[in-house]
Chains A and B, each alone.
Chain A
């Protein structure tokens, strides 16, 4: 009875307390006092922090400004490595922050096999004996310790606890596969198959990798089948199996696996292709298959890495009765291969491609799922009419983007200079902007803007509409000769496109039609980066192949293209 009473009083107290809660009515005076107090105290205590943060912000702006002021690289923004260089440049400029070393908590593996008692004492002195075995094995993996040391650890754990955990075995297996101890891998396979009902994807992948290098490579196929029951195998699983088949001279199996891989819509690794080309090198046949790989690269705008390019070259040169000669050649800026003097494919889109791209940009980028996202139907209609009324443009300028290249507060002048320069070349210009640019202000001078409007056609979108889609549409609408001026890489608009093929089309068109202002200092002449006239893509005309490739160790962003080429020609 008494315990019940206590319970009740407790409940009662609990429910009275909301009455004292400042948020309820009736206690408003008190509430006000409390809130005032809390606000003022908060203001007091944020004082220091806020000033600090304000300073930071200023520095940031300063830094950004410096970068803008001297823009470094004359090469095309689409050239491989530009983004990396820019990043490094900015990193160098950024102030160096002190690097606090993280506390190193990993255990040091010993350099020779230990006995059980030695392991035991090692475990005792380790700061964190929890999961000692697994952590020790991980650090062995990281250090690439000798396999015997790992074995002695296993022996100790097995004697100590009477069993070994799956996790520990998995790490040991990684060590074995990594260092190529094949007999050990076989033993592990037997043990793990008998001990566990199935294997997880990690162990399966390791076994596939381990087996495919040995004469028991056919078992890798069984393991691959087992993975398929629950999950799609990774491209690497296929790649390892294919490499195994190739290594043991079974080209047919390799190609069957490759067909399956492609059918599943997976993206093969470069190593897989390398294996297949090596297979073609030692066994004749499958020429169509290898050519289809090259065409696949072409269609998907994939570029081989240098090692693969070497294999491709070797394969071509090994073909009997058609004497191929391969050479590593640079390409002339005009689009001529330096070694065979052949002209490379033009960057211009074909008529159908152009029409398709135009449709897609209209449908997916501007309209999208909801036209109100980027604009309004009225605005789109008025823009369409505007474009129809005007003659075809030669160049379309992204007004805001161009204006912001210059010094802050001087935007209209920057825009005017760029427009004047293009006008001097006798081009029909369209300037796209937003309505707020027409309202005179410190950065948008009325006089400048009226001059711009004299020299060029202008269209101003609503302040909350996006101007880039209009820019794309106007440029596409004007025809193949029309270029646009912007530093924007248009990645977000590219992402609106529904499939990879259209995106690649967009990218190709963008590389051929985007003018990028290289650097701008007020008063100096405005210069643009050169537009390349040729397309960087795997290409052939029957008698020759030109294959762009990525250099070893060089990094390339998605919006950049390689600069090196492999030229393959048939000797007469």
Chain B
């Protein structure tokens, strides 16, 4: 950089230095805007008014561009905003009404970006380590044989591929489709959720399906009230991929659960229910509302159950756990793991291991009286 560095350092004795020297330093520098343009700015067409137009050329900037610039400056100011944004994200940002919602969205993007970046870094590190290990091995045994590990042995099993496991689990799921106990996920809450919440719900549902598939005795999963042209289905198909979604061994239907099963068999599981689920009944069909509620809309699923005159129940969390913080509603994947364990063993202590530890302070000592 072309800065008058040396002279100030030279006379350190009478160093009552020029307090305003930084101003001249800054003034001598090329404006950052121009520098960026010289590097071949991606939005070359947006600012054709030429360099130095930092002030003059701004009048005709589109709101989208203004938003992008604001984000850049916020980043420079040390705010939590992402480094790069796609045009789609920028569009969403520009549409948000309030400043706080904009900041919230930017923070979300920034955190997401950070995760992505750290994941990539880890991956690269692992890759480097692996190739180094191979090099090491090669150096020790240049002939290519890698000790016991690599030798062909007399073995009982052929290689157990992921494919084989998939096949096994697939058989099990197919069996569950025919003979298994139904478990319903009620997908009727799309209207009450925002986009983010629908996305979160779909992530949870995918985990649900995964845990169920790996269980020794899976449920027969039903996705009820799934509207064929709704955002829910769209997101599910997008996340699974159209083909995998078709092959999924679950029942997804736009019918209501009350139309599929006898009403007396249905039990709606909701944390707002006044009834406590004491024992898991293998002849019942339990319903879980698939909904993520980031705002406060209490009692939605209870209202739904009341409307359809269904039995309701909640998990006996307070009977077994010393509840500390957090809401009593659990995520969908926690629910299915609890239900799977109950189905298999019928023991609450074991099932409630899946309640997040941060929410409670351990189990109660004595068993609650049975009634």
State which of B29, B217, B303 has its C-beta within 8 Å of the C-beta of A163.
Answer: B29
Cβ-defined contact, A12 with B25, below 8 A: no
Residues of chain A within 8 A of B3, CB atoms compared? 158-159, 162
Cβ-defined contact, A158 with B21, below 8 A: yes
A159 in contact with B5 given A164-B22, A196-B73, A200-B74 (CB within 8 Å)? yes
Q: Complex: how many Å from CA A8 to CA B153?
A: 13
Q: Does B36 contact A (CB under 8 A)?
A: yes
The residue in chain B whose Cβ has the minimal distance to the Cβ of A495 is: B296
A53 in contact with B322 given A9-B149, A159-B8, A162-B25 (CB within 8 Å)? yes
Cβ-defined contact, A151 with B19, below 8 A: yes
Q: Does A117 contact B (CB under 8 A)?
A: yes
Cβ-defined contact, B19 with A372, below 8 A: no
State which of B54, B76, B146 has its C-beta within 8 Å of the C-beta of A5.
Answer: B146
State which of B22, B66, B134 has its C-beta within 8 Å of the C-beta of A230.
Answer: B66
A189-246 residues with Cβ-Cβ distance < 8 A to B are 190-191, 193-203, 226, 229-232, 234
A155 in contact with B19 given A18-B214, A194-B54, A195-B32 (CB within 8 Å)? yes
Q: Which of B114-122, B258-266, B283-291, B360-368 contacts A (4 or more CB under 8 A)?
A: B360-368
Cβ-defined contact, A164 with B66, below 8 A: no
Cβ-defined contact, A3 with B134, below 8 A: yes
B136 nearest CB across to chain A (Å): 12
Q: Does A524 contact B (CB under 8 A)?
A: no
Q: Complex: how many Å from CA A196 to CA B23?
A: 14
Q: Does A39 contact B (CB under 8 A)?
A: yes
Q: Does A152 contact B (CB under 8 A)?
A: yes
Give B53-74 as 1s and 0s: 1 = Cβ < 8 Å from A's Cβ atoms: 0110010010100110110111
Q: Complex: how many Å from CA A374 to CA B307?
A: 11
The residue in chain A whose Cβ has the minimal distance to the Cβ of B134 is: A3
Q: Does B195 contact A (CB under 8 A)?
A: no
Residues of chain A within 8 A of B78, CB atoms compared? 134, 167, 170
Q: Which of A42-50, A280-288, A531-539, A557-565 contacts B (4 or more CB under 8 A)?
A: A42-50
State which of A25, A191, A202, A230 has its C-beta within 8 Å of the C-beta of B26.
Answer: A191
Residues of chain B within 8 A of A187, CB atoms compared? 23
The residue in chain A whose Cβ has the minimal distance to the Cβ of B73 is: A200
A570 nearest CB across to chain B (Å): 43
Residues of chain B within 8 A of A198, CB atoms compared? 54, 58, 66, 69-70, 72-73
A1-60 residues with Cβ-Cβ distance < 8 A to B are 1-3, 5-6, 8-9, 11-12, 15-16, 18, 23-26, 35, 39, 42-43, 46-47, 49-50, 53-54
Cβ-defined contact, B146 with A2, below 8 A: yes
How many of B's residues come within 8 Å of A, CB to CB?
A: 78
Q: Does A77 contact B (CB under 8 A)?
A: no
The residue in chain A whose Cβ has the minimal distance to the Cβ of B96 is: A231
Residues of chain A within 8 A of B162, CB atoms compared? 11, 15
Residues of chain B within 8 A of A46, CB atoms compared? 361-363, 365
A439 nearest CB across to chain B (Å): 14
The residue in chain B whose Cβ has the minimal distance to the Cβ of A148 is: B19
Residues of chain A within 8 A of B73, CB atoms compared? 166, 196-200, 203
Give B300-321 as 1s and 0s: 1 = Cβ < 8 Å from A's Cβ atoms: 1011101100000000000000
Give B145-163 as 1s and 0s: 1 = Cβ < 8 Å from A's Cβ atoms: 1100110000001011110
Residues of chain B within 8 A of A116, CB atoms compared? 8-9, 12, 15, 17
The residue in chain B whose Cβ has the minimal distance to the Cβ of A192 is: B26
Residues of chain B within 8 A of A327, CB atoms compared? none
State which of B5, B26, B36, B299 has its C-beta within 8 Å of the C-beta of A197.
Answer: B36
Q: Does B236 contact A (CB under 8 A)?
A: no
Cβ-defined contact, B19 with A464, below 8 A: no
Q: Does B88 contact A (CB under 8 A)?
A: no
Q: Does A154 contact B (CB under 8 A)?
A: yes
Q: Does B358 contact A (CB under 8 A)?
A: no
State which of A1, A117, A195, A229 has its C-beta within 8 Å of the C-beta of B144.
Answer: A1
A196 in contact with B32 given A15-B161, A50-B361, A50-B365 (CB within 8 Å)? yes
Cβ-defined contact, B67 with A39, below 8 A: no
B161 nearest CB across to chain A (Å): 6
Residues of chain B within 8 A of A370, CB atoms compared? 300, 303, 307
A131 nearest CB across to chain B (Å): 9
A229 nearest CB across to chain B (Å): 4
Cβ-defined contact, B350 with A35, below 8 A: yes
Q: Complex: how many Å from CA A12 to CA B149?
A: 12
Residues of chain B within 8 A of A47, CB atoms compared? 365
Q: Complex: how many Å from CA A396 to CA B35?
A: 74
Cβ-defined contact, A191 with B23, below 8 A: yes
Residues of chain A within 8 A of B23, CB atoms compared? 187, 191
Residues of chain A within 8 A of B12, CB atoms compared? 115-117
B353 nearest CB across to chain A (Å): 8
Residues of chain A within 8 A of B251, CB atoms compared? none
State which of B159, B165, B307, B349 has its C-beta within 8 Å of the C-beta of A372.
Answer: B307
Residues of chain B within 8 A of A229, CB atoms compared? 58, 61, 63, 66
A206 nearest CB across to chain B (Å): 11
Cβ-defined contact, A376 with B306, below 8 A: yes
Residues of chain B within 8 A of A148, CB atoms compared? 19
Q: Does A322 contact B (CB under 8 A)?
A: no
Residues of chain A within 8 A of B274, CB atoms compared? 463-464
Residues of chain A within 8 A of B361, CB atoms compared? 46, 49-50, 53
Q: Complex: how many Å from CA A191 to CA B8?
A: 22
Residues of chain A within 8 A of B255, CB atoms compared? none
Give B200-234 as 1s and 0s: 1 = Cβ < 8 Å from A's Cβ atoms: 00000000000000111100000000000000000
Closest CB pairs A-B (n = 4): A46-B362, A200-B73, A158-B22, A197-B33
Q: Which residues of B contact A (CB under 8 A)?
A: 1, 3, 5, 8-9, 12, 15-23, 25-27, 29, 31-33, 36, 54-55, 58, 61, 63, 66-67, 69-70, 72-74, 76-79, 98-99, 102, 134, 137, 144-146, 149-150, 157, 159-162, 164-165, 214-217, 274, 299-300, 302-304, 306-307, 322, 345, 347, 349-350, 361-365
Q: Which residues of A contact B (CB under 8 A)?
A: 1-3, 5-6, 8-9, 11-12, 15-16, 18, 23-26, 35, 39, 42-43, 46-47, 49-50, 53-54, 113, 115-117, 134, 148, 151-152, 154-155, 157-159, 162-167, 170, 187, 190-191, 193-203, 226, 229-232, 234, 370, 372-374, 376, 463-464
**Could you list 16 further interchain pairs (A-B, Cβ under 8 angstroms) beyond the known A35-B350, A157-B22, A158-B22?**
A2-B144, A6-B149, A9-B150, A39-B349, A46-B363, A47-B365, A50-B322, A115-B15, A115-B16, A116-B15, A170-B77, A196-B32, A197-B69, A202-B77, A234-B99, A373-B299
Could you write out 29 A-B pairs with CB less than 8 Å apart? Answer: A3-B134, A6-B149, A26-B216, A35-B347, A35-B350, A42-B362, A43-B365, A46-B361, A47-B365, A50-B322, A50-B362, A50-B364, A115-B17, A117-B15, A158-B26, A159-B3, A163-B1, A163-B26, A164-B22, A195-B26, A195-B29, A198-B54, A198-B69, A198-B72, A200-B74, A200-B79, A203-B77, A231-B70, A372-B302
